[in-house]
Chains A and B, each alone.
Chain A
Amino acid sequence: QVQLPESGPGLVKPSETLSLSCNVSGNSISNYYWTWIRQPPGKGLEWIGCVYYSGSTSYNPSLKSRVTLSLDTSNNQFSLTLTSVTAADTAVYYCVREPTGYIYGQYYFDLWGLGTLVTVSS
């Protein structure tokens, strides 16, 4: 069964860099866009961006200047880096899978990790 466990520090200081990784176990990563979505406590969902196995990326313009997504295909692992964090970046960060192509729809998310809470505080 495909799982998407996220890992990374739960606490980051303001102005520092947030780094998270996600490991795909049980399946190839070549048929999906691998995505990060976040959810501030008590608020809605925000798409951060995605990376394709080819290495191509797409980012939310609101975060693009601070975000880098990368993919390690040999280890089936992909990662998120968010620089210059503030309290507004405090959120649960989800590792998410988006099927490529058109399969009863397009641009949707069919598998979510459990999420990891990252708090930005000094």
Chain B
Amino acid sequence: QSVLTQPPSVSGAPGQRVTISCSGSSSNIGAGYDVHWYQQIPGTPPRLLIRGTTYRPSGVPDRFSGSKSGTSASLTISGLQAADEADYYCQSYDRTVRVFGTGTQLTVL
């Protein structure tokens, strides 16, 4: 059972902004551990989108941004595009275990 909770689905129209939340606890996000985000297009492996809560790896558009507050984190996608339609996972660290969120399916309307 995942210790990081995400909404099962979110949606938005092209050009809009969407936010995906990731709710943790005092033993992971609340303990100060970084949150990372991955994008997974069905049939392909996950791709690192955000590391260290706010940092974008090379090649990731600046439309993607991350933040954290207390025991929760968020991924915001601005200027939504059809290519952004995918599953998104948050990930952190919890008492020696790397833990993932439950995953959120993003639909571009």
Contact = CB atoms under 8 A, between A and B. Distances in A.
Contacts of A106: 33-34, 52, 93
Interface of B: 2, 33-34, 36, 38, 44-48, 51-53, 55, 57, 89, 91-93, 96-103
B67 to A, nearest CB: 14
Interface in A40-85: 44-47, 50, 58, 60-61
A112 B91 contact: no
B36 A44 contact: no
A105 interface: yes
Interface of A: 35, 44-47, 50, 58, 60-61, 94, 98, 104-110, 112-115
A44 B102 contact: yes
B54 to A, nearest CB: 9
B52 A104 contact: yes
Contact of B98 (A47, A61, A110, A115): A47
| Of listed B46, B96, B101, residue having the most chain A CB within 10 A | B46
Contacts of A58: 96
Contacts of B98: 35, 47, 50, 98, 107, 109
